Structure 1
Amino acid sequence: MPTDLAKTFTYLTIHLTIGFSVAYVMTGSVALAGGIAIIEPCINAVAFFFHEKAWQRVGAARKLIVA
């Protein structure tokens, strides 16, 4: 397995574990904590996509100003 893929899976495991643990401590519900731990990374991925698009626009705008 390539290193980048292994790092991605280990990071995902850490992220899900922390998300589940925090949600469980806050709610006391395994079902709710599991739902939060699954849904949050999906929403985060969509937010990251738009974050990257915004930064691409900033980069393009800076190139126009400098040029």
Structure 2
Amino acid sequence: MIVDQLILDKKTSKTNYANDKKSEKPIRSIVKAFSWRVIGTLDTLLISYILTGKISIAASIASIDFVTKMVLYFFHERAWNLVKWGK
């Protein structure tokens, strides 16, 4: 039922930047992604340090984690912003 609504909404209404802009600006998604990744990276740094006992390895893991998950989160947020369900 929800999937049907998502498909029908997609077919019946065009999504464009003007419509998307009304709900949330891309810069907001970027700031949210960054702030969340700071928290997530500190968590990853701590867990990596506990498991490895080496701050250099933990920092390397946390650095890679920070960049990749921030990019993934941004696109995840933008995709969910296109979904009309729940708005």
For this structure pair, what is the TM-score category when the shorter chain's length is used for normalisation?
A: 0.5 to 0.7
If the length of structure 1 is used for normalisation, what is the TM-score?
Answer: 0.55
Aligned identity (percent) is: 31
Structure 2 CA distance for aligned equivalents of residues 39 and 32 of structure 1: 11
* Letter in structure 2 aligned against 1:38: S
Structure 1 CA distance for aligned equivalents of residues 78 and 41 of structure 2: 25
Q: Which residue of 2 aligns with 1:37?
A: 62
Q: Which has the higher contact order (CA 8 A, sep 6+)?
A: 2
If the length of structure 2 is used for normalisation, what is the TM-score?
Answer: 0.45
Ranges in structure 2 where 5+ consecutive residues have no aligned partner = 1-33
Equivalent pairs counted in the alignment come to 52
Ranges in structure 1 where 5+ consecutive residues have no aligned partner = 1-7, 63-67
What's the Cα RMSD here?
A: 2.8
Q: Which runs of 4+ in 1 moved over 3 A?
A: 14-17
Q: Which residue of 2 aligns with 1:65?
A: none
